[in-house]
Amino acid sequence: MKLARTVADTIVEFIKLPEGVPETVTEENQDGELISRPTTLADCFHPDFLAGLVEVADNAEIGWVDIAGEFVRPRAPSLDLIAYAAERRWQLEIGGITAAGQTIDTSRASQAMIAGADALAQVDPEEPVDFKAASGWVTLDAATLHAIALAVGRHVRGLFRREREIAEAIAAGTITSTAEIDAAFTA
């Protein structure tokens, strides 16, 4: 255990013997004999100051908060978690997928190109499309291109849906960490 000073139930500093203070104190006991004992915080600080200190676990850190009498790592602020969820969704969104046997780039630019090529293929379905997939050049018919476009669209839609669910869980307090966000995206 160690001693900490807190402000508004948050650890702001740990209290220990000041540098340069001798490890022992020599004093006279009741019989008039000089004895040595270890220096304590009471030898260095006013009793009123010491009365305000709290014992915390050895692994406690500055910034930990008192929750029901136990100092714990603070929850990440909701806005930070919301931003993390958005960034995580973005990385997954643009990370690519496999569709129709092809590795497909799902960057925003690629999503737009696929949607445009699909729209053209619907108007002119007899004309094959030369498509540059992440795995290389392929020639696709309208049906295969449409299947790829649907897969990309569903991939993006699913990630946005999951991000919304995560944001709602953050607001409800049921998701409180980045690890829980990562787990929710992989569930």
DSSP calls for 107-169 = SHHHHHHHHHHHHHHHHSTTS-EEEEETTEEEEE-HHHHHHHHHHHHHHHHHHHHHHHHHHHH
Residues 108 and 166 in one domain: yes
* Position 187 confidence tier, pLDDT thresholds 50, 70, 90: confident
Residues 155 and 177 in one domain: yes
The single-letter code of the amino acid at 117 is: A
Tell me the CB-side half-sphere exposure of residue 164, using CA atoms within 13 A: 6
Q: What is the pTM of this model?
A: 0.61
Report pLDDT digits (tens) over 53-96. Answer: 999 999 999 999 998 888 988 876 778 899 999 999 999 999 99
Give the residue numbers spanning the domain of 97: 78-186
Q: What span, in angstroms and rounded, lies between the C-alpha atoms of 86 and 96?
A: 17
Residues 63 and 82 in one domain: no
Structural domain count, the chain: 2
Average pLDDT, rounded, for the chain: 92
- Write phi, then psi, for 169 (nearest 5 degrees): -70, -35
